[in-house]
Structure 1
Amino acid sequence: MLDRTPRSADAPRAEWAVLSDMDGTLLDTESTWLVVVEEFVRRHSGANDPALVSALEGLDLHRAAATLRSRLSLEMTTSAVAEELDRRSLEAYAGGVSWTPGARPLLVALAAAQVPLALVTSSPRHWVERFAQTVDLSVFDVIVTADDTPRTKPAPDPYLRAAEALGLPAHRCVALEDSVVGATSAMAAGCTTVVVGDGTRVPATLHVASLVAVDVRMLRAVARGTMPS
């Protein structure tokens, strides 16, 4: 777990916090990852399998590798699959990454309002460090990666870890997610969950088309169990 600049010890205790997924939610990286997976499937099976590719959305590198090895009946070890996915993904990200629409302004506004922020991602730590060379992630008080909990999404552990690190119970945190795997993790932890994007529908969550539609006022209302008029 990577900790950013700590908040002042004499600062008032936060009422709520925002815990956000990274890939696809804040950074426009998920589509690149899925292209890497698609090419892996085609290279090792000689065919396209859109359903298999979609099933890997939101999974960590090791879980994705294990799924591919099993579904494609590969003779490669899971570690070898993960290594290939890791290498090809980093090659694909070599040109840098960018924010999704509305992401950066929202983070700046939340930080200005002194809302505690945690990044909760299924990506490995070295991916986050690579992305941080292109986009500024210093706004986050805490960063929880796939390397930081025994169980990753869809288990609740990453979100529970992030909430604990911020000193708040998970039910006082709003989670931003874009995948079924991530939303399942956040809801299991007890977070009120906002799913970003039109393509993913998850029961018992709020939905927005993009982060352009989200602001501090809205998230504060969500955290309090109300919606602004």
Structure 2
Amino acid sequence: MDGTLIDSEPYWHQAELDLAHEHGGDWNADMGWQVSGKPLPTVARLMRERGLDLPEDQIPDLLIDGVIAMEERHMPWIEGVRTILTDLVGAGIPSILVTTSPRRMAQAVVAKAPEGAFADYVCGDDGLAQKPDPAPYLHAASLVGINSPDLMTSCLAFEDTLTGITSAVASGATTVAYTGTNPVDTSSGPQFASMKSYVGVTLDDLSALIAKRLGRLGSSAAQTC
């Protein structure tokens, strides 16, 4: 969600810096990027280790409050993403939002997305194993009736962090690293493809990615027979 649908990472980093400014601790923007995509309890623990003078269990909610306040003023949709979501709805292709963010944040984004854009969403407080474990993506697939590992190849996943990319790849999904927002280099990641912009991307382009991966898998299977 953050970094693939909306460019809210700067909001998270600002919320972290605001907490550190108000309650102490050695925290900076570079540290914020290093924890991008990680569960909020992990971020809270690391901020505490860097000297933030707040109870660890209060930090996630305070960060969320700060980000939501900024999003209420402006939801930072990534250019081109709403067009893709609308096209998917028109084609009857379901999308599931898979995020480490808590459900109340996902709900805020879904509410402002194109109507019917998301069939469901999987969140960081749903009780599943967290990314980089594949559990969130496997559960997301099951919500639209995909329960076979062989069918996961036909699922397209977009991620912007190595943590998320690892999760999606481990699930078997055809994984695209979106590189338009996160400055952390993901070129060495296990993704199938990378994409810097959504502008001008069509459903045919997305279908071609899946077809290309299926072709490679078919070629590999033939070589091992």
Check whether TM > 0.5. yes
Task: State the 1:216 CA deviation.
Answer: 0.9
Tell me: higher relative CO, structure 1 or 2? Use CA pairs within 8 A at least 6 residues apart: 1
Task: State the 1:219 CA deviation.
Answer: 1.3
Residue of structure 1 in register with 2:19 after alignment: 40
More helix by share: 2
Partner Cα separation in structure 1 for residue 212 and residue 90 of structure 2 = 22
Cα 1:133–1:220 shift into 2, 3 Å: closer
Partner Cα separation in structure 2 for residue 110 and residue 117 of structure 1 = 8
Residue of structure 2 in register with 1:63 after alignment: 42
Residue of structure 1 in register with 2:190 after alignment: 204
Task: State the 1:47 CA deviation.
Answer: 4.7
Task: State the 1:40 CA deviation.
Answer: 2.8
Cα 1:60–1:52 shift into 2, 3 Å: same
Residue of structure 1 in register with 2:219 after alignment: none
* Pairs within 5 Å for 1:169-180: 169-180=151-162
Residue of structure 2 in register with 1:52 after alignment: 31
Residue of structure 1 in register with 2:125 after alignment: 147
1:151-183 residue CA offsets vs partner (Å, 9 max, x unmatched): 222221111110111122433211011122211
Residue of structure 2 in register with 1:214 after alignment: 201
Task: State the 1:33 CA deviation.
Answer: 1.3
Residue of structure 2 in register with 1:81 after alignment: 59
Task: State the 1:77 CA deviation.
Answer: 2.8
| TM-score, structure 2 normalization | 0.80
Task: State the 1:113 CA deviation.
Answer: 2.0
Residue of structure 1 in register with 2:79 after alignment: 101
1:44-72 residue CA offsets vs partner (Å, 9 max, x unmatched): 445553332111211232222122223x1
| Gap runs ≥5 in structure 2 | 215-225
Partner Cα separation in structure 2 for residue 171 and residue 162 of structure 1 = 14
Note if contact 1:117-1:142 (Cα within 8 Å) is conserved in structure 2: yes
Kindly provide the amino acid, as one letter, of the partner of residue 177 in structure 2: V
1:64-123 residue CA offsets vs partner (Å, 9 max, x unmatched): 2122223x1445332122222122222222213132111011111122222221111111
Task: State the 1:28 CA deviation.
Answer: 2.5
The number of residues matched between the two structures is: 205
Note if contact 1:36-1:85 (Cα within 8 Å) is conserved in structure 2: yes
Superposition RMSD in Å? 2.3
Residue of structure 2 in register with 1:3 after alignment: none
Kindly provide the amino acid, as one letter, of the partner of residue 55 in structure 1: Q
Q: Which of 77, 81, 88 is 1:110 aligned to? A: 88
Cα 1:75–1:42 shift into 2, 3 Å: closer
| TM-score, structure 1 normalization | 0.79
Q: Which of 31, 39, 56 is 2:10 aligned to? A: 31
